[in-house]
Structure 1
Amino acid sequence: MAKWQVNLIVLWVGQFLVMAGMTMIVPFLPLYLQELGLHDPHSVATWAGVIFAGNFVTSFIFQPIWGGLADRYGRKVMLLRSGFGMAIVMTLMGFSTSAWHLLLLRLLNGTVSGFVPAGVALMSATTPREKVGFAMGTLQSGSVAGSILGPFLGGLLAEWIGFRNIFFVTGATLFAASLLAAVLVKETFDAKKALQKPKQSMLAAFNELRRISQLPSLYSVTFLIQFSLLSVMPLLPLFVQQLHGQDEMLAFYAGLVGSVTGFSNMIASPIFGKLSDRIGPEKILVTCLLGAAVASVPQAFVHNVWQLCAARFFLGIFLGGLLPTVNALIRKYTPNGMESRSYSFNTSALAAGNMLGPVVGGAISGVMTIQQLFLVSAVLLLINGLWARKSILLRQKSTHPPS
């Protein structure tokens, strides 16, 4: 088995464990806050939102810094720094005694985070160019699988061992993923050569990368993907309640609707990745953006939960070709030696979309229904697809990737 294939298997398992561990807290975060002494429903909801977003705020700021260090000292070093660092922080969350403690630790977690983007950068640097699409798609499926099963496992563990102990389980999971990567992942990195290059500030690196016109376009695509998709998330459980009514199965159906896109995403990601290696990632990206725009429309016209599940499963198929293709294109157009910084700027764009999408969606929910938000999301994805066609696909013939 080739080195890149071993790396892919290990990093797939690692990203699955990391994302499963990170999302285990999602189902019970408001309940854990009640255990810490908050009882007013408005206070619980406010703190839960702030604490959840805190991770993305510091991640947005620090990812480019870690990316610059990865290009100088190696991607595997940054992978292990992040994995073991998050393992410690998540374990400390189990000792929290107030909402403030939890918020500060979430901010710290965002500061040290970066296992997934470091894994993507390492995988892209060690994979043959003709296999990058397949590798990115497969790696994405591991993250998505972890994101799907994490909340489910978290809900089960909350019943069995209590809220606080889940943080200890999560810390152990992150430690196991990092230890696996430390032992099995191999990276060919010339540290002496990297250190001989002149140091470059984050701003200077961004200015160099933005001169490659496709890269700012790809960062914009990433932001708009996350923003348009997550803008409906705060209202999705309420929409399920509206369709299904209030009964004992409501939580199950809300979880099903929230995760069904992940299942189709997980299935489609490796397929689109392999296809992008054959016909080009530019075509796959534009096709999936336009397909996601079309697939978003039926959600606005469903009359029951099963129709909504079918519509979101259909949407997830096209979502499976988006972020892996963006990652493959970033590798294609990024100069050698700057891969980690380039991916880190994309991670910041992703974090910004994760932050602003739910906030804006929740803020405008007073003037728009979720059906209208589905249509707005479709329009944003359509604009995104047309923008990607103009700024990336049509420039492909006249622009050669840097060597």
Structure 2
Amino acid sequence: MPRWKTNLIVLWFGQFMATSGMSMIIPFLPSYIQELGITDPDEVAIWTSIVFAGNFLTAFLFQPLWGKLGDRYGRKIMILRSGFGMSIVVALMGFATNTWQLLILRLLNGTISGYIPASTSLVSTNTPREHIGFAMGIMQSGAVAGTILGPFIGGLLANFVPFQTIFFITGGLLCIASLLVLFLVKEKFDKKKAAKTPNISVLQGFQDLRKVPQIPALFSVTFIIQFSLLSVMPLMAIFVQGMHGNSEWLAFYVGLVSSITGFSNMIASPLLGKLSDRIGSEKILFIALLGAALTSFPQAFVNNVWQLLILRFFMGIFIGGLLPSVNSLLRKFIPEGMESRAYGFNTSALALGNMLGPITGGFISGFITIPGLFIMSSVLLTFNMLWVQKTLITRKR
């Protein structure tokens, strides 16, 4: 097997574990917060959004720094730093005795994260250019599948083991994923050449990347995608409870609804990535945004769980073409030697969307209701589609 394919398989598993570990708490987070002493329903909703988003606040702040170090010292060591670090912090979450401790650990987890941009950068620089779209699709299927299948796994486990045990299991799996990277992933990286490049600041690196007009446009696309998709995610348990009612299997249904897009995403991402190698990532990104907008809107009007499941399944197919197309396009425009920095900044944009989406959704859901969040998501994705048409497709012509 070619080395780039081995790297791809191992890092797919690592991406899946890193993202599922961060999203596994979604189905039981409101119940866990109540277990930690918060009982008022409004306070539970706010704390749920803040704790969920806390991880992404520090990730937004620190990703560019890890990207800079990755360009200078190699991407593999950044993957190992992040993987082993997160395995420890996630396990410690099982020992939290109040919401403040849980929030601090989520903030720390975001600080030491960086697995995804480092692994994406390693794959993009060690994969033949004619297979970049396919490789980015495979990688994204692992990341998004982890984000969405994580709630399913968490919801299922919550019915059989204490909440704290789920954190211990996640930490152990992250450690295993990091060990696989240590022994199986091989990186082609010229340390001597990297050491000779000017040691510029993070801010200067951003200024250099801004000189390529397509790059900041792609950062904006990433932010809006994540903001619109994540705004309703922490409140999915409340939304499903309103339709399904209280039952011992509520966490399972919430996990299933939250994760169903992951099943279709895993199928669609590699296929759409391979198709983008043939017809262009710009076209795939435009079509995927249109489809995501069209499948998000009717979710506001469902009246049972099964209707929601069907719509989210088809939504997952289109989600499969979003971030892989962005990553492929970034590889096309990034100046040589700045790959990790560019993916780090893009991950910051992603983390900012992940952070502001849930917080905004939590606060405005009282004014526009949870169904209104689905409509808001559809509108934002539509504007994003028009932005892609203007900044990438029209500019290319």
Equivalent residue letter for 1:217: A
Mean CA deviation greater in 155-164 or 172-181? 155-164
> Quick one: distance in 2 between partners of 1:100 and 1:216?
35
Kept after mapping to 2: 8 A contact 1:66/1:78: yes
Question: Residue in 1 aligned with 2:67?
Answer: 67
Equivalent residue letter for 2:381: L
After superposition, the Cα gap between the structure-2 partners of 1:45 and 1:375, relative to the gap in structure 1 and judged at 3 Å, is closer
> Quick one: distance in 1 between partners of 2:352 and 2:316?
21
Q: Deviations over 1:238-270 (max 9, x none)?
A: 443444455555444333222222221121101
Question: Residue in 2 aligned with 1:351?
Answer: 351
TM (norm. structure 2) is 0.93
> Quick one: distance in 1 between partners of 2:249 and 2:89?
34
> Quick one: distance in 2 between partners of 1:171 and 1:256?
22
> Quick one: distance in 2 between partners of 1:325 and 1:395?
17
After superposition, the Cα gap between the structure-2 partners of 1:143 and 1:288, relative to the gap in structure 1 and judged at 3 Å, is same
Q: Deviations over 1:70-109 (max 9, x none)?
A: 0000011101110111112122223333333222221111
> Equivalent residues in 2 for 1:168-183 (5 A)?
168-183=168-183
> Equivalent residues in 2 for 1:2-401 (5 A)?
2-39=2-39, 41-246=41-246, 250-397=250-397
Equivalent residue letter for 2:366: G
Kept after mapping to 1: 8 A contact 2:49/2:234: no
Mean CA deviation greater in 10-19 or 195-204? 10-19
Q: CA deviation at 1:349?
A: 0.6
The secondary structure found in structure 2 opposite 1:394 is helix
After superposition, the Cα gap between the structure-2 partners of 1:102 and 1:307, relative to the gap in structure 1 and judged at 3 Å, is closer
Q: CA deviation at 1:43?
A: 4.7
Equivalent residue letter for 1:233: M
Mean CA deviation greater in 257-266 or 130-139? 257-266
Mean CA deviation greater in 300-309 or 179-188? 300-309
Q: CA deviation at 1:148?
A: 3.7
Q: Deviations over 1:348-378 (max 9, x none)?
A: 1111111111222232223324444323322
Q: Deviations over 1:179-218 (max 9, x none)?
A: 1001111111111111111111111111110110101110
> Quick one: distance in 2 between partners of 1:33 and 1:126?
43
> Quick one: distance in 2 between partners of 1:341 and 1:3?
24
After superposition, the Cα gap between the structure-2 partners of 1:95 and 1:378, relative to the gap in structure 1 and judged at 3 Å, is closer
Q: Deviations over 1:314-340 (max 9, x none)?
A: 211111100111011111110111011
After superposition, the Cα gap between the structure-2 partners of 1:40 and 1:241, relative to the gap in structure 1 and judged at 3 Å, is closer
Q: CA deviation at 1:294?
A: 2.0
After superposition, the Cα gap between the structure-2 partners of 1:314 and 1:157, relative to the gap in structure 1 and judged at 3 Å, is closer
Equivalent residue letter for 1:387: W
> Quick one: distance in 2 between partners of 1:258 and 1:43?
22
> Quick one: distance in 2 between partners of 1:300 and 1:105?
34
After superposition, the Cα gap between the structure-2 partners of 1:193 and 1:148, relative to the gap in structure 1 and judged at 3 Å, is same
Equivalent residue letter for 1:205: G
Kept after mapping to 2: 8 A contact 1:64/1:348: yes
Equivalent residue letter for 1:56: F
Q: Deviations over 1:255-314 (max 9, x none)?
A: 322222222112110110000011111111111112222222332343433222222212
> Quick one: distance in 2 between partners of 1:353 and 1:310?
25
The secondary structure found in structure 1 opposite 2:27 is helix
Kept after mapping to 2: 8 A contact 1:22/1:170: no
Equivalent residue letter for 2:167: F
After superposition, the Cα gap between the structure-2 partners of 1:163 and 1:255, relative to the gap in structure 1 and judged at 3 Å, is closer
After superposition, the Cα gap between the structure-2 partners of 1:192 and 1:12, relative to the gap in structure 1 and judged at 3 Å, is same
TM (norm. structure 1) is 0.92
Kept after mapping to 2: 8 A contact 1:138/1:270: yes
Question: Residue in 2 aligned with 1:400?
Answer: none
> Quick one: distance in 2 between partners of 1:110 and 1:376?
27
Q: CA deviation at 1:347?
A: 0.6
**Alignment: residue pair count:** 397
The secondary structure found in structure 2 opposite 1:367 is helix
The secondary structure found in structure 2 opposite 1:186 is coil
The secondary structure found in structure 2 opposite 1:349 is helix
Kept after mapping to 1: 8 A contact 2:66/2:344: yes
> Quick one: distance in 1 between partners of 2:93 and 2:301?
42
Kept after mapping to 2: 8 A contact 1:12/1:143: yes
The secondary structure found in structure 1 opposite 2:392 is helix
> Quick one: distance in 1 between partners of 2:173 and 2:195?
33
After superposition, the Cα gap between the structure-2 partners of 1:211 and 1:301, relative to the gap in structure 1 and judged at 3 Å, is same
> Quick one: distance in 1 between partners of 2:254 and 2:159?
18
> Quick one: distance in 1 between partners of 2:241 and 2:160?
27
Q: CA RMSD in A?
A: 2.1
> Quick one: distance in 2 between partners of 1:246 and 1:44?
17
Kept after mapping to 2: 8 A contact 1:18/1:173: no
